């Protein structure tokens, strides 16, 4: 029944042949790997204005020039990741690139930062999506945490159904977002230059104060607005979703993403400058720009709805990339091995569930506030940017070829700039929560090494290389616990006798009348297997059995003790709750005992 419900919710299991059909072409793959980067335009321009507001400066005009500088960095980062895709067609990303070019330790740091990045991507995206809803419907502002958590649950559900179904369902809203944003930018520019519309209608002249403007404030604004780059790395981390030729499709997707991202980011920043937009506590900058451009009509709500959905889908990008990265780390012995297991729909179920749980905790811990989460998010992203570009610079330097120098310079400059941005985030936002990332990454690294140490210990313990001869044959003591004498006991006794060695049946006496009945029925079996009755000091039967098994093991130190458990299987799944679970409790209690083997002999009740 569990399998039936599972297949009903998440779809029937896929075959290997069907799994190949799950690979996606550019139109659908773009939805899964680019939505995260596209969604950043929903808050990047706002973060620039927030940085100036924090410095006591009203400088929308300067914000446009900061946006242009960010576009330059965006070009550098995009070119660096294009080189990553070409150099690592099997799927690179920060972890693989840094590990192979900068050393194992640096690669592990990159892997830890990416895990933080992807987890925060989900938390930031769903909280920003909730903010978009609240901007359109302010009366539900107090429910933004519940809305964000509900979005995480929806994404977990969609991800467990498989990549193709997710992409097909989510593609229309992503392209609606791109189209609606372009329409908003074009209409907004036309209306401004023909009608002079602004947020404050009676102030048509655009002026901005530069008093107090400093280099530190510009750097802080540049770092804050650089969240526009977040998500660019997802293309190189998710080559496994593309149809062959993967490299070509991934590079075209990255190019398309870079062009769209640059146009949307600059367009929204420009409109915010022209409209003299101000930050509001219960309305996002995109909502404000859309409201001034369209009014509160259907087009405004289309922008808000598509922004909401693309933010949700941006979180879905992490549900593609996080499980794949976790699987790579698990194969290298740095995370639990179950993370490498593919589910029925050829997705990493455990990775999806872990990501859903961690991101939900972050949403609740930060009260569903986007601006509280963004500094943490950006630090993880830019650590990955820095290490990836440094790694690809080393990669190009070690493998010189005609025309490779420009690629080296691009990657090296990008690594320096993104490294500076990372330091700015750490310093400026340290007391606002950035310290958590500085703590979280070392904690994850410690977890990695603890897991790797465990797997190394297990490998040494299981190794047979040092054995000079095979182990000798050991004898066996067989114990068959019984609660009564019935048909389910008979197959267990036959199996116990077939094992060889000394066999004894054991009954724990908790009721004298029941025990006498068991002894009478046992005598009727006319078997040579002895029945041993153990007095119960308390009402339970598990503890006396365990004590007896310990005694047998101690008195036969050179033999195995095999515990054969008779167990009948009811006709219906819900019948199980009507019967004692003594066998299950006994198995759990004996699981860690040395030289004790527990085996079940099921007896299926007739249907």
CATH value at residue 290: 1.20.1740.10
* Beta strand pairing call for 596-604 and 502-509: unpaired
3-state secondary structure of 604: strand
What are the beta bridge partners of residue 505?
Answer: 480, 531
Q: What is the pLDDT of residue 204?
A: 33
450 and 491 belong to one structural domain: no
- Listed residues 455, 489, 523: the one ending a domain: 455
- Listed residues 389, 423, 455: the one ending a domain: 455
406 and 501 belong to one structural domain: no
Q: How many CA atoms lie within 13 A of 432 on its CB side?
A: 16
Asked whether residue 8 is domain-assigned, the answer is: no
Domain that holds residue 235: 22-455
Specify whether the CB–CB gap between 451 and 336 falls below 8 A. yes
336 and 408 belong to one structural domain: yes
437 and 569 belong to one structural domain: no
Asked whether residue 12 is domain-assigned, the answer is: no
User: What CA–CA distance (Å, rounded) separates 22 from 14?
Assistant: 9
201 and 308 belong to one structural domain: yes
505 and 579 belong to one structural domain: yes
389 and 521 belong to one structural domain: no
Q: What average pLDDT does the segment 397-401 reach?
A: 87
pLDDT grade, residue 537 (50/70/90)?
low
User: What is the domain count for the chain?
Assistant: 2
Q: What is the pLDDT of residue 165?
A: 66
pLDDT grade, residue 211 (50/70/90)?
very low
User: What CA–CA distance (Å, rounded) separates 388 from 404?
Assistant: 17
User: What CA–CA distance (Å, rounded) separates 222 from 422?
Assistant: 11
434 and 489 belong to one structural domain: no
Q: What average pLDDT does the segment 193-220 reach?
A: 58
pLDDT tens digits, one per residue of 336-359: 988 888 776 667 888 899 999 998
Q: How many CA atoms lie within 13 A of 102 on its CB side?
A: 21
Checking if the pLDDT of 207 tops 70, the result is no
Asked whether residue 463 is domain-assigned, the answer is: no
- Listed residues 421, 455, 489: the one ending a domain: 455
pLDDT tens digits, one per residue of 287-319: 888 988 888 889 988 988 888 788 777 777 788
Checking if the pLDDT of 1 tops 60, the result is no
Angle at 210 between CA 207 and CA 211, to 5 degrees: 125
404 and 493 belong to one structural domain: no
| CATH classification at residue 530 | 3.40.50.620
Checking if the pLDDT of 280 tops 80, the result is no
382 and 499 belong to one structural domain: no
pLDDT grade, residue 171 (50/70/90)?
confident
154 and 60 belong to one structural domain: yes
């Amino acid at each position: 029944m569990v399998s039936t419900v599972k297949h009903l919710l998440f779809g029937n299991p896929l075959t290997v042949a069907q799994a190949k059909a799950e690979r996606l072409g550019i139109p659908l793959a773009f939805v899964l790997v680019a939505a995260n980067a596209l969604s950043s335009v929903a808050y990047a321009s706002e973060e620039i204005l927030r940085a100036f507001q924090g410095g006591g400066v009203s400088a929308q005009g300067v914000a446009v020039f900061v946006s242009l500088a960010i576009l330059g960095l965006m070009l550098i980062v995009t070119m660096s990741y294009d080189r990553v895709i070409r150099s690592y067609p099997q799927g690179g990303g920060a972890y693989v690139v840094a590990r192979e070019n900068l050393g194992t330790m640096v690669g592990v740091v990159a892997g830890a930062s990416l895990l933080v990045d992807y987890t925060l991507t989900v938390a930031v995206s769903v909280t920003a999506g909730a903010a978009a809803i609240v901007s359109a419907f302010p009366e539900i502002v107090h429910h933004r945490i519940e809305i964000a958590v509900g979005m995480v649950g929806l994404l977990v559900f969609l991800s467990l159904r498989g990549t193709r179904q997710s992409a097909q369902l989510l593609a229309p809203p992503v392209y609606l977002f791109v189209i609606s944003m372009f329409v908003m930018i074009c209409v907004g520019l036309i209306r401004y230059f023909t009608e002079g519309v602004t947020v404050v209608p009676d102030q048509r002249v655009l002026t901005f104060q530069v008093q107090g403007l400093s280099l530190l404030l510009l750097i802080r604004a540049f770092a804050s607005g650089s969240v526009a780059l977040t998500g660019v790395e997802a293309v190189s981390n998710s080559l496994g979703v593309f149809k062959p030729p993967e490299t070509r499709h991934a590079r075209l997707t990255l190019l398309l993403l870079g062009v769209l991202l640059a146009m949307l980011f600059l367009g929204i920043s420009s409109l915010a400058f022209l409209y003299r937009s101000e930050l509001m506590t219960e309305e996002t900058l995109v909502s404000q720009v859309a409201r001034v451009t369209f009014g509160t009509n259907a087009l405004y709500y289309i922008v808000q709805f598509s922004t909401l959905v693309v933010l949700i889908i941006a979180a879905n990008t992490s549900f593609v990339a996080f499980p794949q990265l976790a699987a790579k780390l698990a194969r290298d012995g740095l995370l639990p091995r179950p993370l490498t297991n593919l589910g029925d729909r050829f997705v990493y179920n455990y990775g999806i569930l872990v990501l859903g749980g961690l991101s939900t905790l972050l949403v609740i811990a930060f009260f569903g506030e986007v601006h509280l989460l963004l500094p943490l998010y950006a630090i993880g992203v830019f650590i990955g940017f820095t290490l990836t570009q440094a790694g690809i610079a080393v990669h190009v330097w070690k493998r010189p070829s005609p025309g490779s120098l420009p690629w080296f310079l691009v990657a090296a400059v990008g690594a320096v700039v993104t490294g500076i941005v990372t330091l700015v985030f750490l310093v400026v936002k340290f007391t606002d929560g950035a310290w958590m990332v500085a703590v979280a990454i070392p904690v994850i690294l410690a977890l990695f090494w603890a897991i790797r140490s465990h797997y190394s210990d297990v490998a040494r313990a299981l190794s047979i290389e040092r054995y000079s001869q095979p182990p000798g044959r050991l004898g066996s003591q067989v114990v068959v616990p019984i609660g009564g004498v019935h048909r389910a006991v008979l197959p267990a006794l036959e199996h116990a006798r077939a094992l060889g060695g000394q066999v004894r049946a054991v009954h724990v006496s908790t009721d004298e009348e029941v025990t006498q009945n068991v002894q009478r029925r046992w005598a009727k079996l006319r078997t040579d297997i002895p029945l041993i009755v153990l007095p119960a000091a308390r009402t339970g039967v598990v503890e006396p059995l365990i004590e007896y098994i310990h005694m047998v093991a101690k008195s036969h130190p050179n033999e195995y003790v095999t515990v054969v458990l008779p167990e009948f299987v009811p006709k219906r799944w819900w019948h199980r709750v009507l019967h004692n679970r003594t066998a299950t409790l006994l198995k759990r209690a004996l699981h860690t005992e040395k030289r004790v083997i527990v085996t079940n002999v099921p007896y299926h009740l007739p249907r």
